[in-house]
Amino acid sequence: MNLIIDVGNTRVKVAVFEQDKIVELLVFNKNRIISEVKKILKKYQIDDAIMSSVSSISSKKIEKLRELVSITLVSSTITTPFKNLYSTPKTLGVDRIALVFGAVIKYPNKNTLVIDAGTCITFDFVNKEKEYLGGAISPGVEMRYKSLHQLTAKLPLLEKKKPENFIGNSTKESINSGVVNGVIQEIEGVIQQYKKKYLDLTVVLTGGDTNFLSKQLKSSIFANQNFLLEGLNEILIFNKNK
């Protein structure tokens, strides 16, 4: 079995895979990472482990994890089945590497756009020749709500909510429309940009806001909230079989 650890901006996701299937998935705060991994190791026979982190995690904690289990750390130097044409490959986030990795393995010989709707919304594109061309990064849903509250004097901080109408008839509804409708229109617009150039486009939506957003999108997509974890598992399998 494989242990997959994804340290995000706000929380940690840990999954146990048996081949390509998730048998357990946990989500918790970063300060619990050692104790939660210990629990998993008592419950399952883990053969290999991999971790990606877009947030700061101390070297001390990494060493403690390595004392518990043999673990691979994802970096820009890891071997991949795609050609990275990003002009600054060392700055490419490990989460984006895992998403593209998953796209190449799961959708071989396809033009694939992966949209990760989490703290940030990232767009990553790999063509059918297995060339990663890049993408885009923009603020996520909650970040937009927070910025309206924190960078203004009187706008309230709201929980995300599907707008009742795109024309907001109150301050709260105007904020919901501006944030949620804005994100939907942005995603739809980006998808259409890619489709104009790549007619046979496969689109994958993932991340914490997958379920919230997928129901509101009109474009044809594959919604998979665990696509990043699956990509990390594919990295582990790929490098183990080299």
Question: How many of the other CB atoms lie within 10 Å of CB of 110?
Answer: 17
Alpha helices in the chain (DSSP H): 33-43, 59-68, 94-106, 141-150, 171-176, 182-197, 210-214, 227-240
Q: What confidence category does residue 210 fall into, taking pLDDT thresholds of 50, 70 and 90?
A: very high
* pLDDT tens-digit map of 27-45: 998 888 999 999 999 999 9
Cα–Cα distance between 193 and 40 in angstroms, integer? 43
* pLDDT tens-digit map of 107-134: 999 999 999 999 999 999 999 999 999 9
Question: How would you class 88 by CB atoms within 10 Å of its CB: exposed for 0-12, middle for 13-18, buried for 19 or more?
Answer: exposed
pLDDT of residue 116: 97
Q: Where in the chain is the domain with CATH 3.30.420.40?
A: 2-73, 83-232
* pLDDT tens-digit map of 124-176: 999 999 999 999 999 999 999 999 999 999 999 999 999 989 999 999 999 99
Binding-site positions for substrate read 86, 93-96, 171
CATH code 3.40.190.10 for 83-232: no
Q: What is the mean pLDDT of residues 6-14?
A: 86
Q: What confidence category does residue 223 fall into, taking pLDDT thresholds of 50, 70 and 90?
A: very high
Binding-site positions read 6-13, 86, 93-96, 116, 119, 171
CA 29 centroid distance within chain = 17
Query: What percentage of the chain exceeds 70 in pLDDT?
Result: 99
Q: By the 8 A CB rule, do 34 and 65 touch?
A: yes
Model-level pTM greater than 0.75?
Answer: yes
47 is catalytic: no
Q: Residue 200 in 3-state DSSP?
A: coil
In the set 20, 48, 95, 209, the catalytic residue is 95
Domain 2-73 class in CATH:
alpha beta
Cβ contacts of residue 142 below 8 Å, gap of 6+?
Answer: 119, 160
